Structure 1
Amino acid sequence: MFARWGSFVARRRSIVLATMIVVATLGGTYGIGVFDAMSQGGYEDPGSEAVHAHRAMQSDPATATADVVAVYTAPEGERADSQTFAATVGTALADLPEHAVASVTTYWQTEAPFLISEDGRSALALVTLSGEDTAAKQAILADVEDALYVDGVGTTLTGSAPVEAAISDQTKRDLFLAEGIALPVVMFLLIVIFGGVVAASLPVLIGVLTVSIALGILRLVANVTEVNEFAVNVAGLLGLGMAIDYGLFIVSRFREERDAGVPAQDAVRNTMATAGRTVAFSALLLVVALSTLLLFPQSFLNSLAYGGMTAVTLAAIVALTALPAMLALMGHRIDAWQIPWFRSRGKDRTRFWTRLANGVMRRPVLVSVPILAVLVLLISPFLNTTFGSPDERVLPEGDPARVAIEDLSAEFPAIGGDNIQVVLRGDTSSGPLDAAATAAVADQVDSLPEVTAVDRTSPVEASVVVFEARYDGAAAGADARDAVAAIRDIDPPDGVELLVGGATAVDMDSLDAITDRLPLMAVILLGATFILLFLAFGSIVLPIKAAIMAAVSLSATFGVLTWIFVEGHGAGLLNVTPQPMEIGVIVLMAAVIFGLSTDYEVFLLSRIVEARSKGADTETAIRTGMVRSGRVITAAALLLIVVTGAFALSGIQMMRFIGIGMIFALALDATVIRMLLVPSLLKLMGRANWWAPGPLRRVQRRLQLSH
C-alpha cells in the first residue's frame, strides 16, 4: 500500500506539492488570529460539586466572583474609609460603562470588614465584567482597564482577569520565542546531520507547512468548542518537532536508496514502503495516545487533545505527501550545496554504532541490570508527589500580576486567599434562607479542627449565602483537604443545599474525575500499542515489551520532575517555584511521552524486523537495526529536544515543566532505553521475540502489513 502511494506521489509530484502549499498558505493566513479565538481555564470537572458551588455564586450578582479586584490605597497619613477618599474612588467607579461591567461591590457600599486592610489604608472594589467567556472578558478588560485607575490614588488591579491577561501575553511571547530559537538551531543541526543545506532544509519546510495548517485548523475548532490557548503551544511544539523528525527519517532513507544507485522515483517508492510506513504507524500510535485526553471532562485536556492530534496528524500527512513530492522533484539534487567537512565525517557514521551494538550483544545482562536499577531510583520520588491546579505561581517571580495576587492574599485573606467556599442555597420559592439556620451551619464549620476562621462574604440580600473558611497550610495540603471533606460531611438544615467550592475542592474533584478515567486511558494506550505493533511486526511479545519500556520511561521522567518541581531541588537554578503538579499536565505528558517512546520503538524495531525478514538471525538483526537506526533515532531525539528545550525557557512554569520533562524523557528514551536497554532485552529473549499464535500470525500476514 505504501509503495503504491509512493509511486503515485512521485508521478503526480507537482500537483501534490502545489496542493499542500496552497492549503498551508490558506491555513497559515486564517490561523494568524488563532489566539483571539482561544480561551483560558477549563482545568476543573464541569460536573463536580466545586463547579456547582461556583455556578451558584455566579447566579447572583451580589455573590458572583469578581473578575477584577481593584486595590485602592490612600496616601500616607490618610485612611481609605474617609469620606473624601470614598467620594474620589466612588466617582471614578460610577463612570464605568454599564455595558462592560455587570456589578461593582466596594467597601464603601457594604462596609464589610474583609474589604479593608488592617491598617485602614487600602480598600477593595470587586468588579464583575459582562463578558460571557474568557475571551469576551479579556476584551472588556482592555477597554475599561484605564478607567479603573483613579488619579491621585494608588491603584493595583488583580484577580482572575488580569492574571489571565498576563498569562495570555506570556504564552504568545513564549511561542514566538521558542520557535524563533528552535528553527535556526534545528537547521544548523540538520546541516551537520545531512552534510548539506538542501537536504537539511526539507524537514524544516515540512515543519513550517505543518504548523501553518495546524494553526488554521485550531482556529476553526475554537469556533465550534472551547479551546484553551495552551493548545496552540502544544500544536506548535508537536507540529514542528514531529514534522522535523518524520522528515529526518524519510529524507535519510531516500538518501540511503539514492546512495545505493536507485533511480529517484523508485527511491521514493522504496522510501514510502519502509520509512513512510513506519512514520504512518508511529503517528497513528501517537494520535491514539493523544486521543485519550478526550476521555476526561476537563476542557483543558480536551483542548490539548485537539492541538496535539491536529499537529501530529498533519505532520504525518505533510511528511507523506509534500515531502516525497519534493524528493521526486529533486532527485540527485538532494545532495546539492554540500558542506565537505560535515559530509566527510558522515563516512564513518556507523563505526560508533557498530561498536555499541557488539558490546550490548556480548554482555546483555551487564547492560540491562544496572540500567533497571537506576530507573527504579529515578521513579521513586513520583510515589510521593502531590497534585494541584495552576495559579499565579505559573508566572515568573516578580511578575506584576503574580506580585499583586500575593499582596492581595497577604492583606485581604478573606478575598485573596485560597479559602474554602461554603455555599448555602435554598428553594427559591421559599424566599431568603433562615438566618438562624445559616448561622448554625457557620458555627459547625467554625468548630471543625481543620478550620481556623469563617467569614461571611455574601450580603444579606443575596439569594445564596457564602462563607469563606480558612485553614492552615497550602491549598493542596492535608489540612485543606481534610477541611473540605469534613465540611462536605455536615448535614445542612432541611430545604438547604450545602455546596463546597474553592481551589482545594476544585483540585480534589478534578483529581477524582481524572483518576476515575485513568484505567480506561491505560487500557486504550496498551490496547492500541499491542494491536498496531502486532500488525506491524507480527509478534505479541514485542508490543508487550514496548508498552513496559514506555511505562518505565514515563515513570522515570515523572520521578525527576517531582524531585525538581515539587520537592524543589534545583528550583532556584531553574527559576521555578516548588508547587504541586498540575494533574492535567501530567495526563498530557503521559500521553505524549508514552506515544513518543513507542514512536522510537517502532523506528528501531522496523529496521530489526526488516533485517530479520531478509534472513538474518535474531542477534544479527538486532545489531543491524541498531547500526542502521541508531544515528537517525538519536538525531531525531536531539532535534525534538531542541524544539521542546526552547519551551523550557518559557516564562510560564507549566510550559517550563513540559519542556524540561520532554528534554529528559527524550534523552533517556533515545539513548539509554532505546539503544542499550531494549537491544539487551531483545538479545536475552532471543527467538521468543517473534512469537505469536498461528491464527493471529495468519491474520497479520493476510493484511500485508509486515515487512
Structure 2
Amino acid sequence: MFAKWGSLAYRRRWVVLIATVVLAVAGGVWGLGVFDKLSQGGYDAPDSESARANKVAEQAFGRTGGDVVVVYDTVDPAQLRKIDAQLSGLPSDAVLTVQDPYPSPEAGKSLVAITLRGSDSNTHVKQYEQIKDQLHVDGISEVVGGFIPTQKAINDMSSSDLATAEAVSLPIVLLLLIVIFGGLVAASLPVLVGGLAIMGSLGVLHAISLGAEVNSFAVNVASLLGLGMAIDYGLFIVGRFREEMAAGRTPEQAVKRTVMSAGRTVVFSATLLVIALSGLLLFPHGFLKSLSYGGMSAVAIAMVVSLTLLPALLGVLGHRVDKLAMPWRKKGEPSERGWRKLAGVVMKRPVLFALPIIAVLVALGAPFLGVKFGQVTEKVLPEGNAVRVAAESINNDFPGLASGSIKIVITGDPAPADVQAFAARVGAVPGVGEAVLAAEPKNGVWLVNAGLDVDQLSDEAKQAMKDVRALDGPGDEVLVGGNTAVVSDSLDAVRAELPWMVLMLVGATFLLMFLAFGSILLPIKAVVVSALSLSATFGVLVLVFQEGYGADLLGVTPGPLESGIVVLMAAMVFGLSTDYEVFLMSRMVEARGRGASTEEAVATGLAKTGRVITAAALLLIVVTGAFAFSQIAMMRFVGVGMILALALDATVVRMILVPAVLKLLGNAAWWAPGPLKRIQERMAIHEEAPPVEDERVPARV
C-alpha cells in the first residue's frame, strides 16, 4: 500500500502538491470562523447530581447568581444610589437581573452582582462585551470579576500567548532545522508542513463546532500539536529521503522507499497518538472532549500533509533538496559513529545503566502519589490582573459571600415543616454553617442554601457536601449542588473513566506494536518505559505547581492541579513517548529482519535514529516550551511539562534505558508464540522495503 502511494505521489506530484496546498489553505481560511464559536465552559460533568440540581433550580426559579461581579470602592449612600441608577440603565436584552449594592463597611467597598440573560457562555461573553463600558461610574473606582470576565480574560490571554508562542518559536525552529539539515531548502519543508497542518486543523475544528461544543483551549492544543508533530514527521521523512538520495537512488526510487519506510512509521506513530488523544472522549466533560477534537484533528492533518505534500514536493525537488546548503553540509552526512559507540557502552554494562535510571524515574514519580486536583479559577491568571484582583477583593472583603455554599434543591412539594427540619439537620453537619431558605418555593421546588465554614475547595468542604448528600431528605428528590459539589462531581467523573482510558491506551499500544513488530515483549517494554517516563514528569510537576518548589521562578501560584489539563498531558506525553519508541524500534526491527543480532540491531537503530529523535525532541521542546512563558498558569503547566517529558524521554529513556533493557532481554525481545506470530504475519501492518540489491542504483552525476 505504501509503495503504491509513494509511486503515485511521485507520478502525480504536481496534482498532489497543488491539491494539498489548496485544500489546507481553504480549510484554514474557512476555519477562522471557529473563533466566533468557541466556548468558555465545559469543565463540569453534565450528568452529575450538581448539574441536575442547577438545571432543576434554573427551571423553577430562573437563573440566579452573578455572572459578572463588580466591586466599587465606596459605601457612601449617595454614591450607592448613583451606582444603582446607572446600572438600572443596562440594556435589558443583555442583562437579566442586577442585585442591589451589598456594602462592606469594614472594607469600605460595595459589591454588585449582575446576571446576564443568555443561556450559554458564548452569548454571555458577547453580552458582557456589550455592557462592560457601562459598569464604570464617574468618581468611583471599581474592579470587575465573576465567572464570565474570568473566562474572557483567560481566553484573551491564551489567544495572545498562542500568537506570541508561534511568532517566537517558528524562527527558532527554522534556524535549528537549518543547523540540523545543513540547508535552507530542506529546513523549510517541515515548517511548511506545520503551517498547513495548523490551517487544516482550524477547518476541522470549525466543522466540529457546528455540531458540538468546542472550548477555546482546543485551538491552543491544535496549534501546539499541529506544528510540533508536522515538524517531527517532516524531519523524519525529509531525513530519510536525503538518506536514500545519498545512496545514489533516483528521486522516484527515493520517494517510494521513503514512503514505504518513514511514511509507514509516521502513519503508525500518528495513529497511536490519535488513539491516545481519543481517550479524552471517554470523559463527559465538554472541555476534555474539545481538547481531544483539537489534538486529534491536528495530528491527523499533520500526518496527511506529511504523506501528500512532502512526497510530492520531494519528487519535484529531487537533488535540489540540498540547495542553499551550509558550509558544514558540504562535508557530507554527520557520522553515526558516536551513537554506535553509545549503544556499545550501554550494552556492555546494561544493569549498571538500567537500574539507576529506573530508580531515579521511580523517585521522581513518587510525589505524584500526593497529587490534589482542583478547578480552573482566577488563580490561573497572573498576579495584578484586574479580574484576579476583583476575585481577591471578594474573598478578602466579602468573606460571607466568598466562602461558598451548598445549594440544595428539593422537589415533590414537601411540607414546609419538613423542609425546615431538614435545613436544621444540614446546619448541624460539621463544616456547614446556617442553612436557610434561599427563595419562596415555586412549582413544588424548594431551594435551600447552606453556608460553609471552611474553604469551598478543601477536603473538609468536600466531606461536608458528601455528609449532606447522605442525609434523608423530604419530598421526592434532594439534589445537592453548589461549587464544592460541582468540583467534586467533576473529579469523580474523571476518576470513573480514567481506568478505561488507561486500558484503551495500553491495549491499543500493545496491539498495534505487536502487529508492526511481531513481538510480545517489545510492546510490554514500551508501555512500562513510557509509564515510568510519564510518572517522573508528573512527579516533578506536582513538586513545582502544587507544592511550590520553584514556583516563584515560574511566576505561578501553587495549588491543586486542574484535572482536565493533567489528563490531557497524560495522553500527549504517553502518545509522544510511544511515538519516539516507534521511530527507534522500527529501524531496529528493520535491521533484525536483515539478519542482524540483537546487539547489532540495537546499535544500528540507535545510529540511524539517535540524531533524528533528539533533534525532533529539541524542535518540539521549542514549539511546546514557548507555552512555558504563557500568562495562563494552565498553559505554563503544559509548556513546562512538555519540556520535562521530551527532554527526559528522548535522551535518558530512549537513548540509554531502552538499549540497556533490550540487551538484557536478548533474543527474547523479538519473540512471539507461534500461533500469534502466524496471525501477525497475516495481519502485519508493515511492508518491507525491497532489498538494496533488487534495485538498480544509477550512478550519480
- Is the structural similarity TM-score above 0.5? yes
Report the CA distance between 1:464 and its aligned residue.
3.8
Q: Which residue of 2 aligns with 1:518?
A: 498
Deviates more, 1:621-630 or 1:484-493: 484-493
- Residues 455 and 443 (structure 1), Cα distance of their counterparts in 2 relative to 1, 3 Å cut: closer
- For residues 705 and 42 of structure 1, the distance between their equivalents in structure 2, rounded to whole angstroms, comes to 38
1:190-589 paired onto structure 2 within 5 Å? 190-341=177-328, 344=331, 347-417=333-403, 419-427=404-412, 430=413, 435-451=416-432, 453-454=433-434, 456=436, 458-460=438-440, 464-472=446-454, 474-493=455-474, 495=475, 497-589=477-569
Deviations 1:39-98 (A, max 9, x none): 012111111112122223433556612211122332xxxx34x2x334312221221111
Q: For 1:343 and 1:374, locate their aligned partners in 2 and report how far apart those are by CA, in whole Å.
A: 42
State how far apart, in whole Å, the 2-side matches of 1:228 and 1:468 are: 32
> Would the alpha carbon gap of residues 263 and 96 (structure 1) be closer, same or farther in structure 2, given more than 3 Å must change?
same
Q: Report the Cα offset of residue 436 of structure 1.
A: 4.2
Corresponding residue number in structure 1 for 2:639:
659
Is the contact between residue 71 and residue 157 of structure 1 (CA under 8 Å) also seen in structure 2?
A: yes
SS in structure 1 opposite 2:104?
Answer: coil
Q: Distance in 1 between matches of 2:333 and 2:7?
A: 30
Task: Report the Cα distance in structure 2 between the residues aligned to 1:620 and 1:457, rounded to whole angstroms.
Answer: 77
Q: Which residue of 2 aligns with 1:105?
A: 99
Contact kept in structure 2, 1:367 and 1:680, CA below 8 Å: yes
Q: Are 2:614 and 1:627 aligned?
A: no
Query: In terms of mean alpha carbon deviation, does 500-509 or 356-365 score higher?
Result: 500-509
Q: Deviations over 1:131-177 (max 9, x none)?
A: 22111111111111112222233332211111111111101101101
TM-superposed deviation, 1:24: 1.4
Which has the larger displacement, 271-280 or 149-158? 149-158
Note the C-alpha offset of 1:343.
5.1
Q: Match for 2:424: what amino acid?
A: D
Instruction: Give the Cα–Cα distance (whole angstroms) in 2 for the partners of residues 675 and 475 of structure 1.
Output: 47
Note the alpha carbon deviations across 1:432-484, whole angstroms, 9 max, x for none.
x6554444333323322223x33648344776423142233x44422112111
Report the TM-score when normalising by structure 1: 0.94
Q: Matches of 1:534 and 1:175 in 2, distance apart? A: 38
Q: CA deviation at 1:297?
A: 0.5
Give the whole-Å Cα distance in 2 for the aligned partners of 1:608 and 1:457.
70
Measured after TM superposition, the shift of residue 564 of structure 1 is 0.6
Equivalent runs, 1:141-160 vs 2, <5 Å: 141-160=128-147
> Aligned with 1:102: secondary structure?
strand
User: Counterpart of 2:653?
Assistant: 673
Q: What are the within-5 Å matches in structure 2 for residues 108-119 of structure 1?
A: 115-119=102-106
Q: Distance in 2 between matches of 1:478 and 1:52?
A: 23
Alignment size in residue pairs: 685
Bigger shift: residues 58-67 or 639-648: 58-67
Contact 1:421/1:501 (<8 A) preserved: yes
- Tell me how far apart the structure 2 counterparts of residues 478 and 588 of structure 1 sit (CA, whole Å): 24
Contact 1:56 1:464 in 2 (8 A): no
Q: Residues of 1 paired with 2:284 and 2:362: CA distance?
A: 32
Q: What amino acid is aligned across from residue 467 of structure 1 in structure 2?
A: N
| Residues 680-703 of structure 1, C-alpha deviations (whole Å, 9 max, x = no match) | 000110110111122222222223
Question: Structure 2 residue aligned with 1:185, among 167, 172, 177?
Answer: 172
Q: Which amino acid aligns with 2:224?
A: L
- Letter of the aligned partner of 1:570 in structure 2? G
SS of residue paired to 1:262: coil
Task: Give the AA of the match of 1:14.
Answer: W
CA deviations on 1:358-392 (whole Å, 9 max, x unpaired) are 10111111110110110111011001111111111
CA distance in 2, matches of 1:149, 1:456: 34
CA contact (8 A) 2:197 2:298 kept: yes
| SS class of match (1:404) | helix
Whole-angstrom CA distance in 1 between matches of 2:437 and 2:195? 52
Cα distance change on mapping 1:464 and 1:414 into 2, 3 Å: farther
Corresponding residue for 2:67? 67
Pick closer, same or farther for the CA change 1:459–1:394 going to 2, 3 Å: same
CA shift for structure 1 position 278 = 0.3
Alignment of 1:32-51 (within 5 A): 32-51=32-51
Q: 1:696 to 1:532 in 2, by over 3 A?
A: same
Q: Report deviation, 1:656.
A: 0.7
1:343 and 1:47, CA in 2 relative to 1: closer, same or farther beyond 3 A?
Answer: farther
TM-score, length-scaled by structure 2 = 0.95
- SS of the residue corresponding to residue 174 of structure 1 reads helix
Distance in 2, matches of 1:118 and 1:342, equals: 74
Contact 1:63 1:464 (C-alpha < 8 Å) held by counterparts: no
Deviation at 1:648, TM superposition (A): 1.1
Equivalent in the alignment of 1:95: 89
Range 146-155 or range 598-607, more displaced: 146-155
Q: Assess if the C-alpha contact under 8 Å between 1:488 and 1:500 holds in 2.
A: yes
Question: Structure 2: any 5+ residue segments left out of the alignment?
Answer: 689-701
Instruction: Indicate if the aligned counterparts of 1:63 and 1:466 stay in contact, CA closer than 8 A.
Output: no
Distance apart, 1:325 and its partner CA: 0.5
User: 1:327·1:334 contact (CA, 8 Å) conserved in 2?
Assistant: yes
| Alpha-carbon shift at residue 348 of structure 1 (Å) | 4.1
Distance 1:202 1:468 in 2: 61
CA contact (8 A) 1:389 1:503 kept: no
- Give the conservation status (yes or no) of the 8 Å contact 2:41–2:215: yes
Deviations 1:540-574 (A, max 9, x none): 11111111111111111111111111111000011
Structure 1 runs of 4+ with >6 Å offset: none
Residue matched to 1:110: none
- CA distance 1:292–1:613, change in 2 (3 Å): same
Q: Secondary structure at the match of 1:59?
A: helix
Query: Match for residue 19 of structure 2?
Result: 19
What's the secondary structure of 1:425's corresponding residue? strand
Identity of aligned residues (%): 51
Whichever residue aligns with residue 591 of structure 1, its letter is A
Does the CA-based 8 Å contact 1:131-1:137 persist in structure 2?
yes
* Equivalent residues of 2:143, 2:387 under 8 A apart: no
